[in-house]
Amino acid sequence: MKEFIGFAGLLANIDKLPIVGWVFVNTQVDRASYEALSSTVFYVAEDDMEEIYFEKSKQTFIECPIFTDIKFVVDRSPIKPDLQAYLEATIYYIENDDFLEGPN
């Protein structure tokens, strides 16, 4: 299992995420809360048994390849994105199942 503390920790380690799979958070975390996501622990399974355990005991946050795609889209912004821009784009995707494009 990989653990990342806060959204900044998850984003800083995006290159360590698997090609397939999910990022999970504890069940009580509000996935639309900027404040909660700034400090929560994110979990990524390293094998099938961990994935099954997380599916039963945690809630999904976002699929790893989608998170990578979100970063790619945000990085295309003409304005250098900050942590808030990545967080906003991620929450937008979770709520709308679509990418937030353009300046944030």
Residue 51 forms part of a structural domain: yes
pLDDT of residue 101: 77
Residue 50 structural domain: 2-96
Residue 101 forms part of a structural domain: no
Residues of the chain under the 50 pLDDT cut: 104
Residue 103 forms part of a structural domain: no
Read off the pTM.
Answer: 0.93
Residue 91 forms part of a structural domain: yes
DSSP class per residue in 52-96: HHHHHHEEEEEEHHHHHHHHHHHHTSSSPP-HHHHHHHHHHHHHH
Total count of domains within the chain: 1
